[in-house]
Every structure is written in structure tokens, then in C-alpha cells.
Amino acid sequence: MIVERMPSNIIKGKADGINTRTMEMFQAFGFADKVKRETYWVNQTAFWMPDPANPAHIKRVGRVQDVADDSSEMPHILINQARLHELFLEVMQNSPSRLAPDYGWELVSVAVDETTDDHPVTVTLKDASGINWWATRTVRANYVVGCDGAHSAVRKSIGGVLHGDAANQAWGVMDILANTDFPDVRQKCLISSANEGNVLILPREGGYVFRMYVELDKLKDGEKAASRKFTQDDMIAAANRIIAPYSLDVKEVVWWSIYDIGHSITDKFDDVAEGSSRNPRVFTAGDACHTHSPKAGQGMNVSMQDTFNLGWKLVHVLQGRADASLLRSYSKERLTEAKRLVETDHEWARIMSAPTTQAERDGSEEPRIIRQFKANLEFTGGTAVKYDPPRCSPPARTRRWPRGWRSGGASIRRRWCACPTPSRCSWATWPRPMRAGASTPLRARPTAPSRARPSTSWPTGCRTTRNRL
């Protein structure tokens, strides 16, 4: 059962960046190729900074490859979050369960009965649309996953608290159709002005609309951006000041939003108290347990990677293929990655707001923002994730990996045979080891046939060369 407070699926706006790791996850759902065909591919990022000859104007200081070499065969792409929802809904509709969200229902509370294993979680729901006269419903479940945002009712029900700080900075985001003389408008750009703030430009699929993240005013301690009542005109004016000497003539604003920047993380991702030996029943994921700025483009990616990590574990437990203690690893694994995310975002914010040095302005030194971007390519691509070896993995002495691979659970990065001549490699006759969730399972064998005589035996079910995979 999936419960959604909104009356229907979103139709525009919200997140848009999908990194290479998330694209690989999409292969497990069967729509990665469709996403690649429909989206904008981010191959390079352009950096603009104040012109040393005229600091009031900006100039391009470099272009950097956006995806690290050999990190993935998938691209970094931009796509409307609403379209992603449609793709997931299509998978659900075509599944044996014909699963569909229950729209218009809001979670009120979650309670766990630790004395029973028979649907111990009681969830109270309230009609959020008024169609059912604000009626309440009670649902009992074995497990509950809260993906209900920074103000998560699920997190509050299990005693979770977001710890962190506010950047006291207002930002705006808008998807626009506009005329401009800015030369890199159809390329991902990070723009830093001398005194007016920063802008992030992201082209959207289709070739016309593009997105701008615009830095607005500093806020006082405890002040919220909503109290300033910023409008889309404020964003457009700020963007024009930042990109001078270029200009932006906006013809239509498709979607826009104002938000506060903050960095926070909860101390646990499940309902198990510290020191307790019981297995978790309630979990949180995404913004419900970590929040950050959009500068690194990780929000939707890390959130989906949270639930992908948890999802396969829940399936294995519910199908009786794994002990429920496996679920304890979720909080540990994803909390570590969430901390890295918040720390990296803090560093990004510090570097973007720091003034440039003389060496950076005269070109004798590569700007810090570019150095930081290059250093974090694997992190922003999602391929730097490294978990401890899982309990279900074979002993180290029985694992043999082809040259160029590394073991250790989900830290395996490459999904193709690393040998220079794959056709002569004995591993080429077996399904390739792949990341968790890929369409071909990971296989590790104690021994491998000699490369001089490639194995002609097929795994179970693979009888001919035509239907072997």
C-alpha cells in the first residue's frame, strides 16, 4: 500500500537531476533505455566567474567533464520528476499486484506493538482532500517506510529528530522559456558573480525550457524565506544581475518555488532504540531523514538510493529468503552516506560563497570550485558509495573477481568485463557481475576456467547462444 497526501501525481516541477548510479537502478525496473532517449544528457559543466578586467561582469573560466571516466556506462541526465513518477507508476500498473497509490490520505500517527509479530505496526490515516469528509482509517502493517519529507510525520512518530543548521539563505528555482544572449544556456553552468550571488543553469529535456537556481537574499537567524514573500519577478531580476553583461528575457515561467537552505540529518533511520536487540519495523528515507541544498544535485538520487537499499531487503525478508535482522543494516549503511552527503554539501556551500583569490582571477591557478568539482565526480555520480561486506557474501577466500573489479558488497563499481579482450575471457561466457539491482545477477565462483580454453558450459536455463541470458 502506498499513501500519498496529494490528490494526484505531480505534473511539473520539483527535482530533475539523475546521476549515473540512479540510472543503473532504473535498469532493474526496465525503463533506463526509455529515460536515456527522452532526457538531456549532461556531458560537461561550464564554470563562470567574475572577469578580472571588470568584476561586475562574468566570464567563462572552464569546462569540465561531468562524469568520471570508467565510472559507469550510464549518463548523467536531466528529467522532470513528474515524468519519473509516471514511469514508476507504469511499472506498478503492469506488475502482478496492479499496485496504485491511495491519493488524498495523510498520515497522522504510527505505533508499533513490540509484543507481536503479526502486523505489529498500526497506522492512522486521515482524509486530506475532504472527499471522504475528513474521515480516518486505521491500517495494520508489518513494515512502514516514511518518505514524507522534511516535516515527516513518520519520523516524529518514532522519535526521530533532524539535527543540523540553517544557512540563512533564500534560494529560488524556476523552469522558464526565455530569450537570452548568454552563450551556455543549453549547457549545465555554475555561475558565481562578484557581489550578486550564484546561479545554477540546467537545460531541460525538449530543447527549449531550462531551469535556473537563483541565490536570493540572506536571511536573519530564525527567519524563513516565506516571510519575505519573494516572487518570480524577484528571481528574474536577481538572475539578470548575476549573469551581467548578459541578459534574460523571460517569456513564460512554467514552474517556480522559493525555499530555505539548510543542512540536517536525523540520528537514526528506523524505530529501533539504541541498545535494543529487536529488528526494525518502521523506517524513514529521503528528506525525512536528511536535508541539504540543491547545489550538488543529490536530493532525489540519494533518496531513491535509500529506498532501493531498503527495498530489496524488505522483499527478501517478506519472501522468507533472509532473516529480518538483515533490515538492521539499512540504517547503518545509509546513515553513513547521508553524513557524507551533508558534509560534501557544506563544503560546496563554503567554496561557492568564498571570494576568489588573485591567482584564480588572473588564471595562474585553477579555481577552487573547479578543483572541488573534479574531486567529487565519483561522489556526485553516486559511484563512490562503499558499504561494509554484506553478511550474505561468500568468504573472501572464495571470491575471485576479474581484473579491474573490487569486492565489498555494493562498492563494486564497474558492470562490464574489464579484460582487454572479452571474447577470450572465460568470464564472458557467464552473466556479468553487476551492481545490486541490475538485470543480471552478481555471480562469484570459487574458481574460473582457464582463459586459454573458454568454458562452454552454460549456467542453468541457458541452453543455446540465442537465449542464454
Going residue by residue through the chain, which has 469 residues, state the pLDDT in tens, using 9 for 90 and above: 999 999 999 988 888 899 999 999 999 999 999 999 999 999 999 999 989 889 899 999 999 999 888 888 999 999 999 999 999 999 999 999 999 999 999 999 999 999 999 999 999 999 998 888 889 999 999 999 999 998 899 999 999 998 888 778 888 999 999 999 999 999 999 998 988 989 999 999 888 999 999 999 888 888 888 888 999 999 999 999 999 999 999 999 999 999 887 788 998 899 998 888 899 999 999 999 998 877 667 888 999 999 999 999 999 999 999 999 999 999 999 998 899 888 888 888 777 767 777 777 777 788 888 888 888 888 888 888 888 776 655 555 555 555 555 544 444 444 433 333 333 333 332 333 334 444 443 433 334 444 444 444 544 544 443 343 3
Per-residue model confidence as pLDDT tens digits over 226-277? 888 999 999 999 999 999 999 999 999 999 999 887 788 998 899 998 888 8
Helix or strand (DSSP H, E) at 153:
helix 153-157
Residue 83 and residue 197 in one domain: no
What the block records as the C-alpha cell of 267 is: 540520528
285 inside domain? yes
Q: Do 295 and 225 belong to one domain?
A: no
Whether the ω angle into residue 420 lies within 30 degrees of 0, i.e. cis, is no
Q: Looking at the domain assignment, is residue 357 inside a domain?
A: no
pLDDT at 424: 34
Same domain, 149 and 194: no
Distance CA 356, CA 347 (A): 15
Residue 465 lies in a domain: yes
- Is there a single domain that holds both residue 281 and residue 347? yes
Same domain, residue pair 173 and 156: no
Task: Determine the Cα–Cα distance for residues 406 and 409; give it in Å rounded to an integer.
Answer: 9
- Between the alpha carbon of residue 48 and those of residues 51, 248, 347, 404, the distances in Å are 9, 16, 19, 36
- CB count within 10 Å of CB 94 equals 10
130 and 168 both lie in a single domain: no
H-run or E-run covering 170: strand 162-180
Q: Is there a domain that residue 445 lies in? A: yes
Cα 135–chain centre separation:
35
Helices 368-375 & 328-353 angle (0-180, nearest 10):
160
Domain shared by 14 and 140, yes or no: yes
Asked whether the beta carbons of 171 and 235 are under 8 A apart, the reply is no
Q: Do the domain assignments include residue 376?
A: no
Q: Which domain holds residue 129?
A: 3-43+66-161+271-351
In Å, how far are 204, 238, 251, 277 from 254, measured between CA atoms?
12, 18, 10, 50
In angstroms, the CA 314 to CA 283 distance is 11
Under 8 Å between Cβ of 436 and 386? no
Q: Tell me, yes or no, whether 99 and 151 share the same domain.
A: yes
- Least Cα distance to 301 among 314, 312, 285, 280 occurs for 285
Q: pTM higher than 0.85, yes or no?
A: no
Size (the chain), residues: 469
CA dihedral sign of residues 146, 149, 152, 158: positive
Task: Transcribe 237-288 into DSSP letters.
Answer: HHHHHHTTTS-EEEEEEEEEEEEEEEEEEES-SBSPPTT--SPP-EEE-GGG
Residues 410 and 467 grouped into a single domain? yes
Residues 285 and 136 in one domain: yes
State the helix-helix crossing angle for 20-29 and 81-93, rounded to 10 degrees: 20
| Listed residues 351, 367, 389: the one ending a domain | 351
Distance from C-alpha of 98 to C-alpha of 87, rounded to nearest angstrom? 14
The CATH number that applies at residue 185 is 3.30.9.10
Classify residue 391: in a domain, yes or no: no
Query: Is residue 213 a contact partner of residue 173, using CB atoms and an 8 Å limit?
Result: yes
In a domain, 378, yes or no: no
User: Do the Cβ atoms of 238 and 197 come closer than 8 Å?
Assistant: yes
Number of domains in the chain: 3
Last residue of a domain, one of 213, 228, 263: 263
91 and 17 part of one domain: yes
CATH number at residue 105: 3.50.50.60
Final residue before a domain boundary, out of 318, 335, 351: 351
What local confidence, expressed as pLDDT, does residue 86 receive? 95
> Which residue, 205, 253, 183, is CA-closest to 75?
205
Contact 176, 185 (CB under 8 A): no
Distance of alpha carbon 24 from alpha carbon 412, whole angstroms: 13
Handedness of CA 89, 93, 96, 102 (dihedral sign): positive
Within this chain, do residues 146 and 288 fall inside the same structural domain, yes or no?
yes
User: How many angstroms separate the CA atoms of 148 and 295, rounded?
Assistant: 22
In a domain, 386, yes or no: no
Q: Are strands 77-78 and 40-41 parallel, antiparallel or unpaired?
A: antiparallel
